[in-house]
Amino acid sequence: MGERVAALPIARSVTQEMNAGLTAAVLPDEVRKTVFAMGAKQAPGSDGFTGKFFKAFWGIVGDSVVDAVCSFFTSGRMLRSFNHTWLTLIPKVDNVESIRQLRPISLCQFVYKIITKILAERLSGILPNIVSSGQNAFIRDRQIVENILLGHELMHYLKTKKQGKKGYMALKVDMEKAYDRVEWPFLLAVLDKMGFNTVWQGWIYECLRSSSFSVLMNGTPSGFFRPSRGLRQGDPLSPLLFVLCTEGFAALLRKAIEDKKLEGVKVAPRAPRTSHLFFADDSYLFLRGTLQECENLITVLNEYEELSGQRVNLAKSAVCFSKNVVVPDQEFLAAILGVGALGVQDKYLGLPTLIARSKMETFRYLEEKLLERLQGWKRRTLSWAAKETLIKSIALALPLHVMSCFKMPLSLCRLLDKHVARFWWGDEEGHSRIRWMAWRDMCKSKHEGGMGFRRFEQFNQALLAKIGWRILAEPQSLLAQVYKGKYFPSGHFLNAKARSRPSWGWQSVLYGRDLLEMGLRWQIGNGHSASLLRSPWIPQLQLDPPRYNPVVLPEGGDPTVAEVICQGEGRWCDRKLNQWFDPPTCRIIKTIPLPRQNIEDKLIWHFTSDGVFSVKSAYHLAVSLDRRRGSWRASASWMDRSSWIRLWDANIPPKLKVFVWQILNRILPTTEALFERKVPILPRCPVCWDGPETMEHLFLDCPVARALWGLSGLEYLGEGLPRHTFPLFLKRLMALIQQPPLFMAVVAVLWRIWRSRNWVVFEGKQFGFPALMRQFSQQYEEWMGLPIEVPSMPPPPTVPRSDGPGQAAGFICQWDGATRKGSHSAGGMVLRSPAGEVLMAHGIQIPGIDDPVVVELLVLREAIAWCLGQGVSGIRFEGDAKIIIDKINCRDARDSRLGAVLEEVLHFFVISPGFSVRFIGRSRNRVAHLVARKALSLYPTMSRFFDFRTWLGSRV
């Protein structure tokens, strides 16, 4: 084996420094960092404990973990004999008195995870430098996008090659069960040939060799298997090792090309020859369409299988020929290989390989996918803030993959924008709601008064600009080389044209380049590369090129910036500058520092502080360019950037931020605003009927507003501020308020005014001051009096969760409330393991509220926050508050008593599929009840520090 691999053309690319880095001593700190960087939600091992658990108990288990990990790296031996039996004891209580208060934890799986994580971390750092071009999978600095575009370019070549003697073919190959068939000796021989030193090889071998697993049957592990080949699924090291294994395949193909047994494909005479594109197990091979080459390829595949265990499943592979191979030949060659024909609908890495003349036809499926998503959400009652999250995290991310590679038709982009907007405004079938704001204004960043949604057209261009940036930054990459060979063989990327019959991929890159060029700037060194008059190189004049004096332009000349530099002196030549530019421009130029050394000019990205391209900044550039073109006016606003930042950074619930945002943008649906938008409604104040319902009336002059301001004791804040325009008033007020809680209080007043008003409008209730005061003081206390942090909503999962063991048998949280009439209330919550054992307990006090139902809801909200704090990804909440539980399970947020908090809690369950709530009888909720009673009896400040778990002790 070793000799056969040694004969392959694999470059010895692992240097001595790389080896030194790979095998450097592992220090305790590295172990600790690795543990703390591990995902809290990572699936628990056989012991059921997640990374989060180990982090929480690091003080207790830390030393043992570090010792175990380090012993592997110093001895090179995995502690296999301890497998399954290596235990450590975690105290269940603070003062351990008996062995029953200790919980045994098996460390082994966790330790193995850390070890491979450390190895993977080190290996992935050097992988981009040692793996040949043509395979991009799992490697940090190369991208799936490049492989997609390469595949597309090569297929485009085959599709358009109608003449010439040589015909070509592309074979999309399917590797069978790739991971578990990897032969270890082959992998190790490749590692050796690449130059990995023996220590590293030893570590890798030890990880492979020591792996063993048991099978869970009826909940108990049984059997013990020790494989002799293959890589483990889910091990962070496996994908990287698989890439190295594939490197052996690439070498076999290279050898065949060297021996003239295979030819590969060149998309143009000066483009590199490409024989393969690997992306994990989704791979393409390219060869000439001859019997000889097909047979040679079969030999290579057989050899690879024999060496590595990797088998190509030809029955599942497909082939595609260039147009100049006649059909009978195509059929004959496909039969020799035993493969089918590649269909038009076939996809490579999730994208269509062949793009039809009608782009709309090719990409239409994006619209369908988006509509499907939006339709699913429409049935639910969602707050603005929830919609914002959904749109940003899912709807806009949906077409990201495609939009990073190809230009979408403009009509499709507009259509997608339209669908998202319709979802946001809540259009029903055949009935559209009022557009309170133009969608392009909604798409402005939050700091400019928008919601920060993305417009598909501009975002698409920003994503494509990134490809251009990579071509500039990495001209040696395979994609850059292929493009250069075909489209700009003797020129520069920035001057390249479409040429005849360009691929859609290349046209997309050029479209992105249009944007890229607007943001590229020369960082001046010696000035020899940048054109004095045509290139952007003056930071302050990025989008407005400098005006120069055309009289001094030499005949047919295009001077470089070097013209106006006193070389070697690190300064500008005043005399020449004055000759070329007007005095203001000269002043600006002289602020650019110059090096004394001879340093080349460098193209940088103007719109980031580090000069490196970012999609986000490119998107903002695209939007502002669109605005400059005058296709839309920026809406005039009294708000400035800092005021918007103040709003969005404020520590108040998202829902309330959107509410304030509506006020400041003057788009709150008051009767007057509705009337202005042609809704047949009387523009009167629905509460007092005294004058039109403007925002000024609603929030300042209406009796409700006056009463609530008075009640809050915050009236003084607005004294002396102009009251004729409420948004302006609020903006000034926000600027005045320095303490965050005070802002929260102001928002609480505004929100309650709006809710009370809606109460009158929608519930038809008569408005009464006693009720108003009660509601307000209840809400005010709840927001201001309690240190309740509103739990931040986790983004909804983008993939359906699997029903792994951690999910099916989830944790349970039981909660209960306890009230003392006319005084205060309290709540208890206990976290139970899937087996029902009480793991933790927690109690809280709620001053000022004695309505048992309200208390139950507040305690539930606290319980959610508490559980999220423990890092569990799914939990079933159990309680005896039937009203609340029914409301949540029926997705019904309407309840005047529970109000906004119910909406908030409901929203949490709506967007968090792992969490559910269930009713249980009082008798089964005894423990939570005990905790709640205990919390009620404690001195107010005590409840926060009281150790409920210990106190429960024998009571459970």
Which residue, 907, 890, 900, is CA-closest to 792? 907
Question: Least Å distance between CB 683 and Zn ion?
Answer: 12
Question: Least Å distance between CB 688 and Zn ion?
Answer: 3
CA separation for the pair 278, 172 (Å, rounded): 10
Q: Report the residue number, 415 or 708, with the smaller CB distance to Zn ion.
A: 708
Q: Is 772 in the site for Zn ion (CB under 5 A)?
A: no
Q: Report the residue number, 617 or 712, with the smaller CB distance to Zn ion.
A: 712
Question: Least Å distance between CB 685 and Zn ion?
Answer: 3
Residues of this chain, 698-737, that bind Zn ion according to CB under 5 A: 702
Specify the stretch interacting with Zn ion by CB under 5 A; choose among 437-445, 687-695, 720-728, 748-756.
687-695
Q: How many angstroms separate the Cα of 746 from the Cα of each of 535, 713, 734?
A: 52, 10, 9
Q: Report the residue number, 767 or 951, with the smaller CB distance to Zn ion.
A: 767
Question: Least Å distance between CB 721 and Zn ion?
Answer: 20
Which residue, 622, 596, 422, 602, is CA-closest to 518? 622
Q: For residue 421, what are the contacts with CB-CB under 8 A and spacing of at least 6?
A: 435, 439, 442
What are the residues facing 876 on neighbouring strands? Answer: 812, 916
CA separation for the pair 379, 369 (Å, rounded): 17
Specify the stretch interacting with Zn ion by CB under 5 A; choose among 270-278, 295-303, 371-379, 677-685.
677-685
* C-alpha torsion angle, residues 49, 53, 57, 60 (rounded to 10): 20
23 by DSSP, 3-state: which?
coil
- Given the structure tokens 């509460």, which residue do they identify? 687
Amino acid identity of residue 332, one-letter, is: F
Q: Is 687 in the site for Zn ion (CB under 5 A)?
A: yes
Specify the stretch interacting with Zn ion by CB under 5 A; choose among 5-13, 534-542, 682-690, 823-831.
682-690
- Contact 48/810 with Cβ under 8 angstroms? no
Q: Rounded to the nearest 10 degrees, what angle do helices 456-473 and 144-160 cross at?
A: 90
Specify the stretch interacting with Zn ion by CB under 5 A; choose among 180-188, 283-291, 683-691, 923-931.
683-691
Q: Report the residue number, 146 or 696, with the smaller CB distance to Zn ion.
A: 696
Which residue, 41, 85, 78, is CA-closest to 802? 41
Per residue in 445-458, is it b (16+ CB within 10 Å) or e — as a string?
bbbbbbbebbbbbb
CA separation for the pair 47, 89 (Å, rounded): 13
Q: Report the residue number, 723 or 894, with the smaller CB distance to Zn ion.
A: 723
Question: Least Å distance between CB 761 and Zn ion?
Answer: 12
Phi, psi torsion values for 217, nearest 5 degrees: -130, 125
What are the residues facing 709 on neighbouring strands? Answer: none
Question: Least Å distance between CB 772 and Zn ion?
Answer: 13
# chain residues binding Zn ion, by CB under 5 A = 4
Q: How many angstroms separate the Cα of 631 from the Cα of each of 186, 407, 435, 440, 485?
A: 61, 21, 19, 11, 38
Q: Report the residue number, 625 or 688, with the smaller CB distance to Zn ion.
A: 688
Specify the stretch interacting with Zn ion by CB under 5 A; choose among 289-297, 415-423, 457-465, 695-703.
695-703
User: Element (H or E) spanning 735, and its range?
Assistant: helix 726-736
Question: Least Å distance between CB 848 and Zn ion?
Answer: 29
Q: Which of 87, 688, 714, 938 binds Zn ion (CB under 5 A)?
A: 688
Question: Least Å distance between CB 371 and Zn ion?
Answer: 42
Specify the stretch interacting with Zn ion by CB under 5 A; choose among 386-394, 422-430, 582-590, 685-693.
685-693
Question: Least Å distance between CB 424 and Zn ion?
Answer: 29
Question: Least Å distance between CB 670 and Zn ion?
Answer: 10
Whether the CA torsion 808, 809, 810, 812 is positive or negative: it is positive
Q: Report the residue number, 102 or 700, with the smaller CB distance to Zn ion.
A: 700
Q: Report the residue number, 105 or 687, with the smaller CB distance to Zn ion.
A: 687
Question: Least Å distance between CB 697 and Zn ion?
Answer: 6
- Contact 838/829 with Cβ under 8 angstroms? no
Question: Least Å distance between CB 770 and Zn ion?
Answer: 18
What are the residues facing 91 on neighbouring strands? Answer: 102
Alpha helices in 391-491 (DSSP H): 400-403, 410-425, 439-442, 456-473, 478-487
843 by DSSP, 3-state: which?
strand
Q: Report the residue number, 298 or 688, with the smaller CB distance to Zn ion.
A: 688
Question: Least Å distance between CB 691 and Zn ion?
Answer: 7
Q: Report the residue number, 687 or 864, with the smaller CB distance to Zn ion.
A: 687
Q: Which of 685, 734, 813, 900 binds Zn ion (CB under 5 A)?
A: 685
Q: Report the residue number, 488 or 767, with the smaller CB distance to Zn ion.
A: 767
CA separation for the pair 323, 325 (Å, rounded): 6
- Contact 545/532 with Cβ under 8 angstroms? no
* C-alpha torsion angle, residues 42, 44, 49, 52 (rounded to 10): 0
Q: How many angstroms separate the Cα of 730 from the Cα of each of 651, 718, 725, 807, 930?
A: 17, 9, 9, 47, 46
Q: Is 753 in the site for Zn ion (CB under 5 A)?
A: no
Q: Report the residue number, 533 or 687, with the smaller CB distance to Zn ion.
A: 687
Token pair belonging to 182: 């990897």
Specify the stretch interacting with Zn ion by CB under 5 A; choose among 383-391, 466-474, 697-705, 895-903.
697-705
From first CA to last CA, the distance across the chain in angstroms is 63
Question: Least Å distance between CB 707 and Zn ion?
Answer: 11
Amino acid identity of residue 102, one-letter, is: L
Specify the stretch interacting with Zn ion by CB under 5 A; choose among 640-648, 696-704, 746-754, 824-832.
696-704
Question: Least Å distance between CB 714 and Zn ion?
Answer: 19
Whether the CA torsion 512, 515, 521, 522 is positive or negative: it is positive
In this structure, the strands spanning 351-352 and 347-348 are antiparallel
Q: Which residues bind Zn ion (CB under 5 A)?
A: 685, 687-688, 702
